[in-house]
Amino acid sequence: MTEPLLRRLAARGERIYVGALPWVAPVYRAMPQVHAVIEFPFAHGGLQLRERRKLARQLTGRFSTAYVCPNSFKSSLLPFLAGIPKRVGYLGEARVGLLTHRLKNPSKGLRPPMVAFYSALSGEPGFDSDRPRLHLEPPLVEAVLRQYGQSQGDYYVFVPGAEYGPAKRWPAAHFARLAQQLEAPVLLLGSAKEAGLGKEIAALAQSAAVINLAGSTGLTEALALIAGARQVVTNDTGLMHVAAALDVPQVAIFGSSSPLHTPPLSDRAQVLWLKNEASYQPPLDCSPCYERVCPLGHLRCLNDLEASQVLPLLDKSAAGKTASP
């Protein structure tokens, strides 16, 4: 979702270096405008002040401006410690002294689309037409497909997990039923934490050609497998945005979150969200709640979405027709 911001900065002559954790670095390497990626040696969670000070010493004097996309205190600490003169970001948790140029956070009830939220850091107007774009070299895609015994456009990709929590995950049984109705193999992608979920879907699908690769690929391989897929079915998660940025036809399934806030920005993406289904009764007034776990215990926003509702949307995404959230 930060790619349009980086494209704007590069277009006005800024040389882009991106600091990122290793697990997300391949995404930024698929952005032609990024000159280099600096992989952060930080573990997930915790301040890790010693490690940040060490890296800050290595970065001191190298950069004139830092654009801090996350809203956390620790994300703004590294540019401050490195003495980068101009540090741009949103007001977040105790960041007044760490940032030199601060944007006000929108109120929770008025969340803008995330692309516009990040693009505003450029200080330029007009973000409505911004869409993330990624590029993978064809030889890389071909090599990965050969590695996994697949051919371009001859398989589907399912992304059944969501790091945020179960209130974003379409049920495993629904994914399995959809796989049973498709006429091509299905590859399941996800992190090592989702390997069990992939195994469950493969077992429920029974005779369907479902290959569980969750936890078995690196991010570079996952990107290439998405790029070569016939179509993708995904929850509201990071790989949903990857598929959109690679312009691969997809159906994106939303539960506790909102496609008005984090839509897949592609003409080849179809969105399925019960909040937007006028025929659904009784109305789903609790969505979007943005909770990790359904606070009401029924998870109707996802349980009530059937595989039969996804199938026609796959046809539309293949035709490149845009869905309106």
Pairing of strands 186-188, 156-159: parallel
Domain span including residue 263: 138-319
Q: Count of CB atoms within 10 A of residue 192's CB? A: 9
Domain boundary among 96, 122, 148: 122
Q: Say what the pLDDT of residue 318 is.
A: 66
CATH number at residue 86: 3.40.50.2000
Distance between CA atoms of residues 111 and 263, nearest Å: 12
Phi, psi of 296 (to 5 degrees): -100, -10
Residue 166 and residue 116 in one domain: no
Strand ranges across the sheet with 250-253: 210-212, 186-188, 156-159, 231-235, 250-253, 269-272
Is the same domain home to 112 and 155?
A: no
**Predicted local confidence at residue 324, as pLDDT:** 40
- pTM for the complete prediction? 0.87
Same structural domain, 107 and 174: no
Residue 131 domain-assigned?
no
Residue 177's closest CA among 213, 210, 212? Answer: 210
Instruction: Identify whether residues 48 and 175 lie together within a single domain.
Output: no
Same domain, yes or no: 100 and 231: no
Indicate whether 25 belongs to any domain. yes
Q: Burial code of 26-41, b = ≥16 C-beta within 10 A, e = fewer?
A: bbbbbbebbeebeebe
- Same domain for 158 and 107, yes or no, is no
Helix axes 73-81 and 49-59, enclosed angle (nearest 10): 40
Number of domains, the chain: 2
The answer to whether residue 264 sits within a structural domain is yes
Query: Does residue 265 share a domain with residue 231?
Result: yes
Report which DSSP code applies to 220: H
* Strand partners for 20: 39
pLDDT string in tens for the chain (325-residue length)? 899 999 999 999 999 999 999 999 999 999 999 999 999 998 877 788 999 999 999 999 999 999 999 888 999 999 999 999 999 999 877 788 899 999 988 776 666 788 888 999 999 876 666 899 999 999 999 999 999 999 999 999 999 999 899 999 999 999 999 999 999 999 999 999 999 999 999 999 997 799 999 999 999 999 999 999 999 999 999 999 999 999 999 999 999 999 988 899 999 999 999 988 878 888 788 989 999 999 999 999 999 999 999 999 997 766 654 444 4
